A = this chain, B = another copy of it.
Amino acid sequence: MIIVTTAGITPEALDRIIEHVEAAGLRTHVSRGEQRTIVGCIGDEGALSEHGLTQLDGVERVMPVLKPYKIASREFSVGNTAIRLGDPADTVIGGRDVVVMAGPCSVEGREMMFDTARAVQQAGARLLRGGAFKPRSSPYAFQGMGEDGLKILADVRAETGMPIVTEVMDPRQVELVASYADVMQIGARNMQNFPLLSEVGKVQRPVLLKRGLSGTITELLMAAEYVLAQGNGDVMLCERGIRTYETATRNTMDVAAIPVLKRETHLPVIVDPSHAGGRAHLVTPLALAAVAAGADGLIVEVHPDPKCAKSDGEQSLEFSAFTQLMQQVQAVARAIGRECTWPSEVS
């Protein structure tokens, strides 16, 4: 930690700052510039109340030197984390292939899930998404089918072989959701729901952690750290658009978060172009942008009849549009030296 003192600090005030730091067990290193004296603090920053320091006389600013995340950082792990899914476990997230997850916002019924699963699998999706527990801003809106929805998802997996990604919102439901899902999704509104993060950290199921509407990249990594610190190392980070002043789109997709995250962490980075744009015609351009910028995967909303969807109809793709998206995703992935393959394509 570095302490910048005020101009013309008295020797007494400087002594008290040094005393305060050393009392916490750190060493100090004083550097006198032409206009400011700087106090470097050497040792365990955690032992010091960084924020309290600013209340000492003569302290102008306190600047931390180290990044707050540890297990999530590149310094912790040199190679990339790759997450294997499916039975056989031939879907790898965080490898050379760009992996696409697709399906409706909500599980609305058995037939629509089977139809959608078959369509997106045929088009190239490797995982099926679908919400059984839905976070809705209104208490009067459709809240999801609950465990009945999870059962439908499990039945679809049994038939198609597609691993399932579905949201968990409540620490009391982690065990239940983990018993059905292949990947547990933590929604944007729960990025800093720390009890929930700790709970999914205790279960051996991969986690798809979405960035909060106003979450910084550092906070997203700290949220992942909550999961990792509990022993669950299979965390994917998901950029899904942040909240800005612009209202032409539902959110603003922070495409730069992809290369920033790839540099800071070894965890896979997924992008959700559907929530980022919030309009169907934006989904494909945003998906392609994400792949071009280095995303390891996409999660896309697809619905048999978007105009009648119970949630997120505005941003859901029809089957045909999703098929076109996959063709273009594959082309862009190859253009940057990656791949996007699927079994039905091979046969």
User: Chain A residues in contact with chain B, CB under 8 A?
Assistant: 2, 4, 7, 20, 29, 31-36, 38, 40, 42-43, 46, 49, 51-56, 63, 65-66, 68, 70, 75, 135-141, 169-172, 189-190, 192-195, 198, 212-214, 216-219, 222, 225-226, 229, 242-249, 252-260, 263, 276-277, 279-282, 285-286, 288-294, 306-316, 328, 331-332, 334-336
| Chain B residues within an 8 Å CB radius of A315 | 51
Inter-chain contact B309/A135, CB cutoff 8 Å: no
How far apart sit A246 and B137, CA to CA, in the bound complex (Å)? 16
Inter-chain contact B66/A63, CB cutoff 8 Å: no
Known: A34-B42, A306-B52, A306-B55. A216 touches B247 (CB 8 A): yes
Other-chain contact of A214, B213, B280, B292 (Cβ < 8 Å): B213
Inter-chain contact A169/B195, CB cutoff 8 Å: yes
Which residue on B lies nearest to A66, using beta carbons?
Answer: B35
How many copies of this protein are present in the complex? Answer: 4
Q: List 11 A-B contacts (CB under 8 A).
A: A2-B2, A7-B75, A34-B42, A54-B314, A137-B219, A139-B222, A139-B229, A172-B172, A216-B246, A242-B245, A255-B286
How far apart sit A256 and B294, CA to CA, in the bound complex (Å)? 17
Other-chain contact of A169, B194, B307, B314 (Cβ < 8 Å): B194
Inter-chain contact A313/B243, CB cutoff 8 Å: no
Known: A33-B40, A335-B332. A51 touches B247 (CB 8 A): no
| Chain B residues within an 8 Å CB radius of A35 | 65-66
Inter-chain contact A217/B246, CB cutoff 8 Å: yes
CB of A230, distance to nearest CB on chain B (Å) = 8
